[in-house]
A and B are shown apart, each in its own frame.
Chain A
């Protein structure tokens, strides 16, 4: 079975702290994604990557950056956390472009910024 693992299920950080959210997938997927999920807003795409060292902005990239140094790992970075970044963060991966394209999600990381 495909497994997408997010490093932390729950984090509490203070305003201004640098936050790293790590995601690892074990199926050699080319595509990886970071979403945030907020009540009433559904899932919103922050960044995605379709290859190592490649990244593209999603719909809400402001305040975030990403890193894809290895194919299996996609990191989301909050350089200076703010309270409006309190949210559930979901990582996903998908098959290569020629594949069916369904997304496989991790369990999520719930971040609280105080």
Chain B
């Protein structure tokens, strides 16, 4: 599975969009980009995933560059409850072998 690089921390004002970047320059053609988040003292929570098209669900949007070497998770209107560590993971869809999570990005939403 390809490696990912994320900034260790970011701040965002409440009500504004939070844009979390992820680099995955060694991604293979059959690897998907997954995003999870972990609120303090809880288990990680799935957010969204995509292959090459942009994706949107009730939680977030995922923008993947045309060359697929990087992506951005967008929380359109961040709230204080979105304060969490966000993990970007690249893996083959349906693979039984799970990529080890990296250190992620600590997003702090400020009032």
Q: What residues of chain A have their CB less than 8 Å away from a CB belonging to chain B?
A: 4, 31, 33, 35, 40-45, 48, 50, 56, 58-59, 90, 92, 94, 96-108
Contact = CB atoms under 8 A, between A and B. Distances in A.
Interface in B22-66: 32, 34, 36, 41-46, 49
Contact of A44 (B32, B41, B97, B100): B100
B103 A45 contact: no
B100 A43 contact: yes
Contact of A98 (B41, B43, B44, B94): B94
A78 B36 CA distance: 28
B100 A105 contact: no
B33 to A, nearest CB: 12
A48 B96 contact: yes
15 contacts: A35-B101, A42-B100, A42-B102, A42-B103, A44-B100, A45-B100, A50-B96, A90-B44, A92-B43, A94-B98, A97-B96, A103-B44, A103-B98, A107-B42, A108-B41
B interface, size bucket: 20 to 34
A41 B103 contact: yes
A107 B43 contact: yes
Contacts of A101: 32, 34, 49, 91, 93-95
Interface string B72-92: 000000000000000100010
Contacts of B98: 33, 45, 48, 58, 92, 94, 103
Contact of B46 (A41, A59, A102): A102
A61 B98 CA distance: 14
A50 B95 CA distance: 10
